[in-house]
Amino acid sequence: MLSFTEPAVTVEAATAYLDAIEAADWPDSTAEREAAILRGQRHLAREYNQRWAEEWANDEAPELVQHAIAEAALVEARAPGITSRVVTPSEAKVLTRVGSLQWQPVRQGDTAEGMKPRLTHVEAMLRPVLRAKSIFLERA
């Protein structure tokens, strides 16, 4: 399981991975890199700690998970706090038309699932190390 407080990937390993994929906008400061790694890792821990296909200690995270942490850290470096954004009821709306912008409020009782940030490239990377989501069918 990923820790919420201890990084599972080093700054050096994350930087080497991001350099290898020629990622832009990775900060120069080690302190900024460390902070981005921890914010990105906390996002992955919140989203996936209950879904890992195998158990492992934080300091033994698979390489694929470490790369996903680096990807999430890059997103966080570009827009600090984006993966833990707080949405107020006044912001709970969905864009329904682009020409002459039109928004529809999210109804009371709807889940916030649709408003959570999704790192689709990270989700795709992690598919091989996640259990499938359970689907429950109800008999009529």
φ, ψ (nearest 5 deg) of residue 134: -75, 140
φ, ψ (nearest 5 deg) of residue 105: -65, 145
Which range scores top for mean pLDDT: 15-24, 79-88, 103-112?
15-24
- Residue 74 · residue 23 · CB < 8 Å: yes
- Given a cut of 80, is residue 113 above it in pLDDT? no
Q: What pLDDT score does 38 carry?
A: 98
Average pLDDT, the chain: 89
| 73-84 mean pLDDT | 95
- Given a cut of 70, is residue 112 above it in pLDDT? no
Q: What pLDDT score does 114 carry?
A: 59
| Distance of alpha carbon 11 from alpha carbon 130, whole angstroms | 25
What tokens were used for 115? 């408003």
More confident residue, 85 or 11: 11
Q: Which helix (H) or strand (E) holds 104?
A: strand 102-105
